Amino acid sequence: MLPTDYLLNLRRLTRKRDVSAYVRMMQRAHEFSHGLNPNNYEKLKDQLTRSNAFLNDDEAILILQ
């Protein structure tokens, strides 16, 4: 998932009234965040590192595991 996915899908929603891409993107974001373990800092940090969450948006794509 790219950080620009949100804006591109929001634009598609508002200009073409196409909800499907926006909903799919939000579902992927929900699944990703639901799988994170906030009760263990080290595990959470490892999960976010493996998914490229700490890299700048021009360096990597967020890996949804």
Question: Where do the structural domains in the chain lie, given as residue ranges?
Answer: 4-50
5 touches 57 (CB < 8 A): no
Does the structure show a pLDDT above 90 at 2? no
pLDDT of residue 41: 96
32 class by beta-carbon count within 10 Å (0-12 exposed, 13-18 middle, 19+ buried): middle
21-29 long-range contacts, CB within 8 A, separation 24+: 25/1, 28/1, 28/64, 29/1
Could you report the per-residue pLDDT of 12-64, keeping only the tens digit for each?
Answer: 999 999 999 889 988 988 998 998 989 999 999 999 999 888 887 666 777 77
pLDDT band at residue 3 under the 50/70/90 scheme: low
pTM here is 0.69
